[in-house]
Structure 1
Amino acid sequence: MTTTLITGANKGLGFETARQLVSAGHIVYVAARNPAHAQRAADELGALPLVLDVTDDASVRAGAVRVAEEHGVLDVLINNAGINGGGPQPLGECTGSDMAAVLDTNVVGIVRMLHAFLPLLQRSGNGIVVNVGSGLGSFARVHDPERAESRVPSLLAYPVSKAAVSMLTVQYARAYPSLRINVVDPGPTATDLNGRQGVQSVEQGAAPIVQAALTGPQGPTGTFLDAEGISPW
């Protein structure tokens, strides 16, 4: 069976992605910082709870040790955990500390996860990494007046972090060609992250993440994906 780990999986897109992959027959670790939240989500989904904080090196290493001991391999890693940095504010009010906090979770957190879990992914015959991104981090979309991303005001840390996730994805994909490593834009999904302002359901938002998680060995890598497939960045 396919073993999958999803960070930030106790609610929203992470939870729905876990639900769909459990239904597809995956063994899913639902990772969350809070033990009670991880356990509750696992109980609801028929998954495995994993207490993991992507901002803590020791926590991430411990998670990798547990997966190695229990399964010896990781087939799919979905880096979903993220924060928005508190929502819109005048850009001049964003401090270095504000930016650092968002980057530590949204970008450095992925680096921590890959550093710890790459050996397990490389043991899989079809190792897959899905980094959850955003159209708000896309140059093409924020410059396109026809796109909603071009009309989102007063955000700095979150879009910057998601732009960084895209380049991070490309660099890891180039370095590890045997793995399928992609960034996925779920689209404007109503979750706690955006105050339920998105126009899509979590089922719709999770669909392209799940599709990327199910890609085969000949599937794309180092690409920016959305519900329509490969998209220009």
Structure 2
Amino acid sequence: MMVGGDICNKLWVVLGLRKLSGGFSGNIGHDPHIMYTLSAIQVLALFDKIDVLDIDKISNYIVGLQNEDGSFSGDMWGEVDTRFSYIAISSLALLRQLDKIDMEKAVQYILSCKNVDGGFGCTPGAESHAGQIFCCVGALAITGSLHHVDKDLLGWWLCERQVKSGGLNGRPEKLPDDRENGGISDRPEDAVDVFHTYFGVAGLSLLEYPGLKPIDPAYALPVNVVNRIIFKK
């Protein structure tokens, strides 16, 4: 696919953050991390340029972060979080390399983080949080394991996140945040930023706001991009 000069420059910025390990860093001089590796894959996926990546090297980097219990570390320093499980699974699926990890252990670890309220935490025994729920449900969806989710119980917990203002919080007794309600800044009167704008637009797309492309809720990418990569449509 031909790309314009401005887009080409942006892609080179992303590719300039590649590390010898196969992972990507968040900025020049930083260590590689699984989060930024997914971000790089997503950017290249949006521009239909995944083919410029060393897929084997990147996938091997991600596979090397899986722990014996099925969890994933974010980087060489070993922090474990269900966010990283989602990121690893999503990244490998986009690279069509999902069979490289121990899928059964990965799913079982995520399920070990499920709570009696139907939600999921960052590690086993941690409180349920909407952010972790997105990651865990997304990972289970990608791996074909959604049958493990108690949809009614989890749906009720999520419905209870809505507060009087109409916004939603991530967990009980917290302020609403646009990552859950589809705003552009995190809260009314707060400054706009790229991070919350992304989640705001994604939320509006899921609510079928006019003029927006449909987004795949598991991959957090436009449906046409996911169809092109995953389903070859």
TM over 0.5: no
Structure with more contact order per residue of length (Cα contacts < 8 Å, sep ≥ 6) = 1
| Structure (1/2) with the larger strand percentage | 1
TM superposition score normalised by structure 1: 0.26
Larger Cα-atom Rg:
2
TM superposition score normalised by structure 2: 0.26
